[in-house]
Amino acid sequence: QLIASLSAELISHSLCESIDEASSIADAIVSECSTTCNDAIVEGVSNLLTEYFEEQLTHPQAIDIARSALGLSPPPASHHETVSSDMNDADAHDLDEHNSSDAEDYIGKGECELCEREIKLTRHHLIPKTTHKKILQKIQIAADAISQNNRNKARIVLGDSLFDELPERILTDPSAAKWYLKGKTCDLCRPCHSQVHTLHDEMELAESFHSVDKLLEDEDILSFARW
């Protein structure tokens, strides 16, 4: 129940690019909250929300989202903020129209990196944000293995595709991995973006389809982009 309601909140606040991503994030967050006390759940969920969406949410906003997901009213002292509180009515109306069927703002017009059409674009995280925690753990294990001259173990941990994709500097100094993952994006039109997430789950994208070239190696994605 909480996963479904939190997922709905993430979509309604335009924090996720797809319902699959919202569900994945909600599931990951709820699974880390073992308590049954509402106040503790609110605190745990809000802390994790600000970790996942550090550039988009303030902690008070995260608290309000967590409370709403639990069916609780905002605390009396809270001046309820929304993610788009700085928008004027016209901007909000436009965003509502854009987000009626998806949950990510358009970033501007340009060439889609898959279908190559000149069109409005959205930003796709080649290694989805929902997988960062797990991928960072794998990178750390791989880096430890490399420091012990065991590259074979590092390759097994990361998988051949991701091992070959990661720069050597990340494997020797994993402290920079978080920023590398965040910056690994491409610009896609909404139809291509939605198709990518329809065809593959988040971890598949992270481990096997973490570049535009890798995405285009998938026959279904290539066929869709050509169409």
pLDDT digits (tens, 9 = 90+) for 79-136: 444 444 443 443 443 333 333 333 455 777 888 999 998 888 888 999 998 899 889 9
pTM of the shown model: 0.53
For residue 158, the one-letter residue type is: L
State residue 222's pLDDT score: 92
Continuous segment of H or E residues that includes residue 177: helix 177-183
Q: For the residues of 84-137, what is the DSSP string, one character each? A: TTT--HHHHHHHHHHTSS--S---EEEE-TTT--EEEEEEEESS-GGGHHHHHH
pLDDT digits (tens, 9 = 90+) for 181-227: 888 999 998 888 888 988 999 999 999 999 999 999 999 999 888 87
